[in-house]
Structure formats: C-alpha cells, structure tokens
Amino acid sequence: MTVSVIIVNWNAGAALEACLASVVGDAGGCQAVLVDNGSTDGSLARARAAFPHLLVVDTGTNGGFAAGANAGAAMAGGDVLVFLNPDARVLPGAIRTLVEALLATPGAGVAGGGLVADDGGWQPAAARFGPVAHLLLDTRPGRLRARLRRHPHPVDWVYGTFMAVRRDLFHQLGGFDTRYFVYGEDMDLCFRAARMGARTIHVPGARAVHGANLSAAQRYGTGREAEVVKGEMRFYAARGRPGALALFRALAACKFGLKTAAAAVLGRRTTARTYGRVVRACLAFDR
C-alpha cells in the first residue's frame, strides 16, 4: 500500500514548516501533498523553498478545508490518504502506525491518530454521533476511559486533524462534503462511511502534536468554538434523525449557557464571550 499525506494550509506560518519536516522525517517513501488555500503570510513560498520535491496544489483561494482536502486527494497517488493539519506535527512512526492499524483492522475504512498538546497533555481525537452522548459524554469527565486506552478501537468518528482514509472509500464517498467550510466535515465523512459498512477506528499509539488552531484563530478569534458547534449543527441538519438538530440546539444552548454564566462569575471575560457566542450560534442557527 502506498500512502499520501495531504496538508491543507491557510496562513499557518512557521508551524507549516515544522509540520512538513515531521512528515518528511517520518513518512519514508510516502508522498507529501501541500494544498494552499490562498495564503498571504509567505508560508507557501517558504515551504516550497525548504521542500523542493513537495507536490503543491495552489488553489488560489480559501474555499475551506473540505474543498482543499478534496483538491489534494485528487492529485494524490496513494492507496491510503492521510490528512494532517498544518498546525500539527507527527511523532516518529506515527504515520506507519496509523496506516498499519487501518489496514490490519477488518472492515476499517477510516482511522484517526492520537493527539497531544505542545506540553504533552492529552487531547481528544474521537467523538460520538448522538446529540446527547456527544454533548454530555464527549467531555473531560466522560473521556476519562479514553485517556487510558492504548490500542486501536472502534469509535463513531475521528477528528480530521490526523486522519487516514482508504483511497477507494474516499472516492466512493465523493470526498469530504464541501457544504462544510471547516468543522463537521470529518464527522460527516465517518458517518457516511459507516452507512456504507466501513468502520472507523481510533489509534492512540499513532500520535501527533497538535498546537494552537492557528488558521481558525486568525479567521474566527473567540468565535472558533461557535464555528465548531455550527459545523456539528450542519451535520445534524443534513444527516441526523428527525428531531436531532432541535435536541442538539437545545442541549448545547443550555450547556454553554451554564458555562457562560460560570465564566462570568469567575471573572473570565474572554471565556464568557467565547461561550456566549456558542449560545447565540445555537439560537440563531439557520440551515
């Protein structure tokens, strides 16, 4: 099996070079594909200079992650497509571990790697589909067991931060749904894969260091969390059972409303603004 690593960049700055260096150092004979969505920070030029053999897809415009990833997949030659955020860098052996687990698991079509922060702290990398389970169990207390897992295991969906997909399955699905600009497209892809009978697994041992969400922070600022929830609401609007969207909106508004109030009481104004924007997004969401 051949592997292509696809990185979609929009103004990721110096983090992009660190990401590419980790891929080149870890991937061996893998193909590295850089998709640039109209960056203006010079990151594309620096990447080209530092990695002259890199396959570059310059879209010229920021059409979002889903569209950029699809453009990279169209040019990639690998039997397995690995999608990696430009603000992430893989640890030694991570790509091989992720791909081998995908190929060794019967019926698996998608695999997501484990994520850690710059300081080594654990980060979530998988979640549940159901609105109630997602909002109430995909939390810090609800993920205590997930923190302890070390072996590949089935999950509902994995984050697109570090994700491998069988090429044939990706094309059968038509790639990522471009109705998602950013956030929600990974959830949607895993859901559609499951409907086709393909399993999604999480591989904690295939680890990537995920830094700050640079591109999203530039574009959305304190509204990033609201955009994440908007992506999830788009998913429930498009794929959820009757009533799933309404249930998610109501629960999310209550959950983040309580978080807003708690942050305000504790004097955490930025946090209160962040969660307040999530509440407003839930109340104002329009398909």
Q: Clarify whether residues 92 and 140 are in a common domain.
A: yes
Residue 150 contacts residue 207 (beta carbons within 8 Å): no
Main-chain phi, psi angles of 278, to 5 degrees: -65, -45
Q: Clarify whether residues 7 and 132 are in a common domain.
A: yes
Q: Rounded distance, CA 164 to CA 166, Å?
A: 7
Q: Clarify whether residues 198 and 240 are in a common domain.
A: no
The number of domains in the chain is 2
Q: Clarify whether residues 68 and 120 are in a common domain.
A: yes
- pLDDT per residue, tens digit, the chain (287 aa), is 899 999 999 999 999 999 999 999 876 779 999 999 999 999 999 999 999 999 999 999 999 999 999 999 999 999 999 999 999 999 999 999 999 999 999 999 999 999 999 999 999 999 999 999 999 999 988 899 889 999 999 999 999 999 999 999 999 999 999 999 999 999 999 999 999 999 999 999 999 999 876 666 777 787 899 999 999 999 999 999 999 999 999 999 999 999 999 999 999 999 999 999 999 999 999 76
Q: Clarify whether residues 129 and 264 are in a common domain.
A: no
- What domain range includes position 280? 222-284
Q: Clarify whether residues 187 and 273 are in a common domain.
A: no
Q: Clarify whether residues 42 and 174 are in a common domain.
A: yes
Q: Rounded distance, CA 65 to CA 152, Å?
A: 26
Question: In this structure, is the dihedral angle defined by the CA atoms of residues 24, 27, 33 and 35, taken in order, positive or negative?
Answer: negative
Q: Clarify whether residues 94 and 227 are in a common domain.
A: no
pLDDT at 87: 94
Q: Clarify whether residues 160 and 242 are in a common domain.
A: no
Q: What is the CATH number of the domain that holds 156?
A: 3.90.550.10
Q: Rounded distance, CA 246 to CA 228, Å?
A: 17
Q: Clarify whether residues 117 and 207 are in a common domain.
A: yes
Q: Clarify whether residues 74 and 122 are in a common domain.
A: yes
Which residue among 161, 193, 217 closes a domain? 217
pLDDT at 1: 82
Which residue among 196, 217, 238 closes a domain? 217
Which residue among 217, 232, 254 closes a domain? 217
Question: Would strands 108-116 and 199-210 be described as parallel, antiparallel, or unpaired?
Answer: parallel
Q: Clarify whether residues 51 and 168 are in a common domain.
A: yes
pLDDT at 279: 97
Q: Checking phi first, is residue 71 left (phi over 0); if not, alpha (psi -120 to 50) or beta?
A: alpha
Question: In this structure, is the dihedral angle defined by the CA atoms of residues 53, 77, 170 and 91, taken in order, positive or negative?
Answer: negative
